[in-house]
Amino acid sequence: MNGLVALGAGIAALTGIGGGIGIGIATGKATEAISRQPEASGKIQTNLLLGAALAEGTAIFGFVVALLIILFLG
């Protein structure tokens, strides 16, 4: 039973991939935007931080699910 629980928790933690890719793409576009218009860098930075925190939220949900699987099923 322990093996399946570990497998389930590992699969749940794979949501980090989506978060990482999403934040990476967003940061790339943000740096591109700043390079095009350096005066707007403050607003761009604010939006980037907000978007990164939201995307990280979904990755954190995966972490919480993995934790719950380990705690309540293992």
Partner 1 sequence: MNKLTAALMEELNVEMIQIGGLQIPESVVVSWGIMAFLVVCSILLTRNLRVDHISKRQAMLETVYNFGSSFFEGLLGKEGKGYVPYLMTVALYIGCCNLIGVFGIKPPTKDLNVTAALALMSIILIEYAGIHARGGVGFLKSLAAPTPVMTPMNILEIAIRPTSLCMRLFGNVLGAFVIMELIKMVVPVFVPAVFSLYFDLFDGLIQTYVFVFLTSLFMKESIGGEE
Instruction: State the residues that interact with partner 1 by CB under 8 A.
Output: 2, 6, 49-50, 53-54, 56-57, 60-61, 63-64, 67, 70-71, 74
Nearer to partner 1, 35 or 42 (CB): 42
User: How near is the Cβ of 23 to partner 1 at its closest, in Å?
Assistant: 13
Residues 27 and 48 sit within 8 Å (Cβ to Cβ): yes
Cβ 46 to partner 1, closest distance in Å?
Answer: 9
DSSP letter string, 2-13? HHHHHHHHHHHT
Query: Which residue, 21 or 67, has its beta carbon nearer to partner 1?
Result: 67
d(CA 49, CA 44): 9
- Return the DSSP state at 40: G
